[in-house]
Amino acid sequence: MSSPDVWVDGWGFISGVGPVEPENPVVALPEAVEDQTRKILANLEKILQRRGLGRQHVVSVRVHLMEFKRFHDRMNRVYEGFFGAKRPARSCVGVAALTRGALVEMDFIVKEPA
């Protein structure tokens, strides 16, 4: 099993954040891509808060998305609302499958203040 986040020299690498309930990962996933995106971003905030950080410290995001054409715009509206006008660099790729049948999963790179 891998670590969900690794921190080295002020940089955080947060991988494979899915729309799961971290305290109870067997709970069913939300059905809508918008709700899955919200859950992922809420999970990110919990990880950041443990280190005294916020969304403004996220410098890069990689989005893995099922059915890219169908879900991209819907996921993107939630994503843009979360990050606001100052969004991190991002790539978004379509994938064939994700863990537990999720529709979306994200990786994040975070920079702690000097």
45-93 pLDDT tens trace: 999 999 999 999 999 999 999 999 999 999 999 999 999 999 999 999 9
Give the amino acid at 60.
Answer: S
Q: In angstroms, what CA-CA distances link 111 with 2, 7, 10, 80?
A: 21, 9, 6, 20
At 114, list the tokens.
């000097």
**Residue 102 phi, psi dihedral angles, 5° rounding:** -60, 155
Q: CB count, 10 Å around CB of 39?
A: 20
Provide the token pair at 43.
């999970």
Give pTM, 2 decimals.
Answer: 0.94
Going from N- to C-terminal start, the domains of the chain cover 44-114
Query: What is the CATH topology of the domain spanning 44-114?
Result: 60s Ribosomal Protein L30; Chain: A; (3.30.1330)
